[in-house]
Chain A
Amino acid sequence: MHKTVLLALGLLVAAPALSAGIEVDIELPRIDVADYRRPYVAVWLERPDNSVAANLAVWYDVKMRNGEGTKWLKDIRQWWRRAGRDMQVPVDGVTSATRHPGAHRLAFTAGDAPLGELAAGSYRLVVEASREHGGREVLTLPFDWPPREAVVREARGERELGKVAVHLKP
């Protein structure tokens, strides 16, 4: 039931001829452990040569005193190597607080930060989640830009991530 509503919502959003862009659905599974901490999550676009085309979102503990929350950014391992270690956080419109388990939707418009103008070509959307006292998981969704028509690509994580989908809007 819940899923149907989500899907219907998705159609509503996708239907009107909005400007080109990308929407990303990220489901954080509810994990039943005593010492649950919300995961650090990074979402980015990379090219076939692993270079980063856009840093879309980084969720980390932004509220800790003295920027202590940045201490574990390196545990979003792949993102740290590809982009994180060369960035100064916080970044407006990219970094934000960690999120609760459940479904989250992020929307990015072509031409606007942080997506910007994407040159035509092949890309991968990468979603990486890393949880304190827990595990880490990376999901990768390849796509070509620009899309000729509205396209949805999906992947499902096994532990730290639930369903992840990318909606491409021409």
Chain B
Amino acid sequence: MIKHRIALAALTATLAAPLAQAHETWLVPSSTVLSSNGYVTVDAAVSNQVFHFNYRPLSVGQSLSILAADGSAVQAENLVQGQLRSVFDVKLDAPGTYRIAVANAAVMASWKENGQPKRMRGTQAEIAEKVPAGATDLVLRENATRIETFVTVGSPTELKPVGEGLEMVPVTHPNDLYAGEEVSFAFHANGQVAGQLKVAIVEGGTRYRDQLDKVELLPDEQGRIRHTFARPGLYYLNAVMTGKSPSNPDMERRMAYTATLEVLPQ
């Protein structure tokens, strides 16, 4: 019984984690622009303040993907999960833009079986298999998150859309951002233009100022936002889209996207 309780508690924790809105999740690369091949190191954390390691490491294991400009996968090196952050190195040995991403997608189900509450997390197929026919009070929630950053050796190269989950499709290249110049990004949900979403941009270093100075933007019909970064620096961009799942009208869907962007001085 105790074991069961612990298991349930742990399960509840895993269920709750992706739903928690209070925390920022991010990847911060040591450099975003390189003039020759080499390494960058990346910090990955869940925090209460943008780019400040003060809460939990971001669990990156299986969900980390690093793609080189030619689409080939790059293996992270020296991955360490500390108490407050995860760290890994990325070897960049070809020119072009690398996409570093941590993406997760799952469905959470809760229901009652003979009066007992049950929960599980998995793919839609897994859940369809496990939830018995006699289940009552079934609640399904789909959750997809993508956390990204970009690093370029030499000239920026085109970033092909992933086509899954909520993603930023660059109009302005994310490694070609300069203070005082208008930039534009589009958002896609599962490969389609995403209209109904909110985008927030926060400049790093919030702990050295009194106000969050969050900029909130709504995309146009093409799913595009426009913005001019006033100052150079590291920025946190977050987009959230909620609604019914198109695959199942009884399922709530929440998709979130986060990018760390470096804006360079002119």
Contacts and interface: CB of A to CB of B under 8 A. Distances in A.
B131 interface: no
Interface stretch (B9-17, B32-40, B159-167, B215-223): B32-40
5 contacts: A67-B36, A74-B33, A74-B34, A81-B176, A85-B155
Contacts of B266: 78
Nearest to B154: A85
A77 B32 CA distance: 13
Interface in B1-58: 33-36, 38
B35 A77 contact: no
Given A77-B264, A77-B265, A78-B266, A84 B36 contact: no
A145 interface: no
Interface size class of B (residues with CB under 8 A): 10 to 19
Contacts of A67: 36
A138 B266 CA distance: 10
Interface of B: 33-36, 38, 154-156, 176, 178, 264-266
Given A71-B38, A77-B264, 16 more contacts: A68-B36, A70-B35, A71-B34, A71-B36, A72-B35, A73-B35, A73-B36, A77-B265, A78-B266, A80-B33, A81-B178, A81-B264, A85-B154, A85-B155, A86-B154, A86-B155
A84 B35 contact: yes
B155 A74 contact: no
Interface residues of A, number: 14
Contacts, number: 29
A73 B176 CA distance: 16
Interface in A78-104: 78, 80-81, 84-86
Nearest to A67: B36
B91 to A, nearest CB: 14
A103 B217 CA distance: 51
The 7 A-B residue pairs with the shortest CB-CB distance, nearest first, are A74-B35, A73-B35, A70-B36, A85-B155, A85-B154, A71-B36, A74-B33
Nearest to A84: B35
A85 to B, nearest CB: 5
Nearest to A85: B155
A74 B38 CA distance: 13
Contacts of A71: 34-36, 38
